[in-house]
Amino acid sequence: MTTTGPGRPRKQQPSRPGATARDEILDAAAELFTTQGYANTSTRSIAEAVGIRQSSLYHHFRHKDDILEVLLAGTVAGGLAFARRVSGGDDSDHTPLAAAARLHAVALYDGIQLCDARWNLGVLYNLPEARSARFRSFMADRQELRGLYQRLGADLPGNGWAGTGQNGDLAFRLVESLVNLRADGLSTPDSPLQAADAGIVLCGLADSLAVVRAQSAQLLASLG
């Protein structure tokens, strides 16, 4: 038996990714929440998956909701930070293609974050618990991210997708659809790019997609 610190014995050597016991707990919880369901996962089962005592888990998280809060926040943190950088950067180029490139870059970055994560945590968005006041911070961040999509989409020409002016919201929904695609085992390494491309095509800019992609790639390289 090894130890993680005074009073926090570990039953076995760590076998999960993470620099700390806390990271290992989050990884185990992410796996169990997404494969067995949140309601069906106990703190005891999480502790056992890590190889620590249940009492040791409580040293890091007082309640299962605390773990869920951290995991949910992580699903939007990267995409939100990147969207803020894109929205707050030099947007002096107001041409339609530049606007489309900004939206494409945000959608692509966000989609990669959702698809490349070790566990498909986006499925947790549908939990009733995730919509409670307990997770208002996560909901606020997700709403801010959606708002940035909408703001970027509003800079595109014309009246928007299907005449609704909802270019940004369309892109946001296409990216979040990757969660279900992954859950069905149908996502590929190209899925994030395909979702970002689809948002631009459905906004009526299919003929300019190659140029939009190139400018989007430059944004990702400079701001990502």
Reported as half-sphere exposure (CB side, CA atoms, 13 A), residue 103 has a value of: 39
List the structure tokens of 74: 């992580």
In a shared domain, residues 71 and 180: yes
Domain count, the chain: 2
In a shared domain, residues 147 and 201: yes
In a shared domain, residues 29 and 128: no
In a shared domain, residues 151 and 203: yes
Its domain, for residue 197, covers 66-223
In a shared domain, residues 37 and 92: no
In a shared domain, residues 84 and 46: no
Task: Tell which of 62, 88, 114 closes a domain.
Answer: 62
In a shared domain, residues 87 and 13: no
In a shared domain, residues 141 and 204: yes
Residue 10: the pLDDT is 47
Residue 141: the pLDDT is 96
Residue 203: the pLDDT is 86
Rounded to whole angstroms, how far apart are CA atoms 176 and 168?
Answer: 13
Residues of the chain where predicted confidence (pLDDT) is lower than 70: 1-15, 17-19, 90-93, 158-165
C-alpha closest to that of 126 among 194, 39, 66 = 39
Cβ partners under 8 Å of residue 79, min gap 6: 106, 109, 110, 113, 114, 145
Task: Tell which of 62, 90, 106 closes a domain.
Answer: 62
In a shared domain, residues 29 and 79: no
Residue 5: the pLDDT is 41
Q: What secondary structure does DSSP assign to 113-179, as a single string?
A: HHHHSSS-GGGGGG-GGGGSGGGHHHHHHHHHHHHHHHHHHHTSSTT-GGGSS-HHHHHHHHHHHHH
Q: Which residues pair with 10 in a beta bridge?
A: 2, 52
Distance set, CA 104 to CA 63, 83, 111, 115 (Å) = 38, 11, 10, 16
Chain position carrying tokens 């369309």? 170
List the structure tokens of 133: 């006041």
Residue 154: the pLDDT is 87
CATH number of the domain to which 53 belongs: 1.10.10.60
In a shared domain, residues 20 and 79: no
pTM, two decimals, is 0.87
Residue 59: the pLDDT is 94
In a shared domain, residues 40 and 124: no
Residue 62: the pLDDT is 93
